[in-house]
A = this chain, B = another copy of it.
Amino acid sequence: MYSFKNDYSEGAHPLILESLLKTNLQQEPGYCLDQYSNHARELIKNTLECDSCDVHLIVGGTQTNLIAISSFLRPHEACIAAYTGHIAVHEAGAIEATGHKVITVNVANGKLDCSDIQAVVDGHPDEHMVKPKLVYISNPTELGTHYTKSELVKLKEYCSNNNLLLYIDGARLGSALVASDLEFKDLVHLADAIFIGATKNGALIGEALVICNDYLKKDLRYQIKQKGALLSKGRLLGQQFEVLFQNNLYLDLAMHAKKMADKLRYGLKKQGIKLLVETETNQLFPIFSKEDIRNLEFNFLFYVWKEIDENYSAIRLITSWATTEEAVDSFLETTKILEKS
């Protein structure tokens, strides 16, 4: 039974475990003030080609979102997000629990554009309503689509001109980078804050929150502590990011996931399978008959994403740094047989 359910089914990349083993009995200060965390932050800044940004190592994505957003906003300020955005649906009200409304926009492909945001701003003119202040996007989105560099440039320019913050949830950032013309060094110019996800790209845990906007930097460690996210053994985060941001490993792992997804994508298309949405990242949403889905479920794990009609549904397949070419071949083999029968 092979799982294409998500990109966090396995443990960590072997180099990470190796590093943990090697340094295990070294005594270190706590709370991400250890030598590995220091080095990791340096490596990340070098990769971003930015010396002035602040980098914080945090355990998980929901946690990072709620820490950053509640730190950046005053009580009456709200987020704008696609209705499929992670903070809007899949965080059990984490943002609202810190006091802030998430205003959602209905968009087909998971992506916001300037006109979507403008409509929200226009609809919130006075103090009887919340004040939209932070634009939340995920890149890639929860539907596997991604933003091009020029799309991000437009969004950032719009936000800057309208006194809005642009925040990028990069839980799968690697996947967006290898699928587009966007580069690490562009990021700090295109967002007020962003997090670089590692859990879904080879780490056991870990997201690196990068704060680019000077006004948002102050006292972030207080927020991290208050939300229960300042790890006493912060070295665990430091060591992982240290490994991932050396020798291009972060992007190499993302590229492997993309290659596996591409192979699936092209293989399925060649078999005449349609996709719910066009993606170039490690997520794909092929449409199968419900009978085929039942048959696929004998050998593979995946989410049934959305019913298309009485007979068809889209499923979600995700590849990762750990996906084997054998598993991909086996899946394509199976669908080929199903299609023929």
Contact = CB atoms under 8 A, between A and B. Distances in A.
Interface of A: 2-3, 5-6, 8-12, 14, 17, 20-21, 23-30, 59-67, 70-71, 74-76, 78, 89-94, 96-102, 127-131, 199-200, 204-205, 219, 221-233, 235-236, 301, 322
22 contacts: A8-B232, A10-B26, A11-B236, A14-B24, A17-B20, A17-B24, A60-B232, A64-B228, A65-B228, A71-B74, A75-B97, A75-B98, A89-B129, A93-B101, A96-B96, A97-B227, A98-B99, A199-B232, A204-B236, A205-B231, A205-B236, A227-B228
Given A10-B26, A20-B11, A24-B17, A100 B94 contact: no
A246 B127 CA distance: 30
Contact of A131 (B59, B76, B222, B233): B222
Given A96-B96, A219-B76, A12 B24 contact: yes
A227 B209 CA distance: 17
Nearest to A58: B228
In order of increasing CB-CB distance, the 8 nearest A-B pairs are: A63-B228, A76-B222, A11-B24, A9-B27, A92-B225, A93-B130, A92-B226, A62-B228
A225 B91 contact: yes
A291 to B, nearest CB: 24
A305 to B, nearest CB: 14
A233 B205 contact: yes
